[in-house]
Each structure stands twice: as structure tokens, then as C-alpha cells.
Amino acid sequence: MPKEKIREKSQSKVKIPKKYKVLMYNDDFTTMDFVVEVLIQIFDKTKEDAVQLMLQIDKSTCAVVGVYTRDIARTKASLATEWARREGFPLKVEAVEE
């Protein structure tokens, strides 16, 4: 009995997940030191990068502090917001689709 060669046509399409920007907004109450600490602890920035981002946020309305998949972006934004509230700061951090 001859062996049949089975050819399978596989047309699996890999869907690349959408990316989300995490925005951190400037306010008049959250301390610069706290913003730098959040950028280091939650967004894995170096001290130098965190300071530069903090200055960018301070000079404008907001800045992109990271780009991630949806779940990671939302989690990081939520962690930063919750930490700020525990410390009594009104820091606004949100994830928006790119």
C-alpha cells in the first residue's frame, strides 16, 4: 500500500496585538520626586530617563512614558494611579490606543 503524502494547507494568520501608549499628565500637586520614583519602579526607567521624562511632563500637558500591549499598559497605568492615590497625589496616568 503506497503511503500518501498529506499536505496540509495552513493559513494561520498571526494577529499582531495593538499597542497602547501610557500617558502621564502634569499637575500642580504631585511632586517631581514621586513622578521619578513611579517612572523607575513601575515603568522600569533609569534614573536619568525618569528625570528627563519628568521634566518633559512638567513642561507640557503630558508625555508618553511607555508603549505596551493593552493589558500591560492598563496594568501599569492602574498601578501608578493607585500608588499616587495612596500617597495623596492626583496624578493622572492613562493607557490610550496608538
The reported pLDDT for the residue numbered 15 is 86
Rg (CA), the chain: 21
Q: Torsion-angle region of residue 34: left (phi > 0), alpha (psi -120 to 50) or beta?
A: alpha
Write the class of the CATH domain 19-97: alpha beta
- Indicate if the pLDDT at residue 94 is higher than 70: yes
What pTM did the predictor assign? 0.83
What is the tens place of the pLDDT at every residue in 17-67? 899 999 999 999 999 999 999 999 999 999 999 999 999 999 999 999 999
CA atoms within 13 A on the CB side of 34: 20
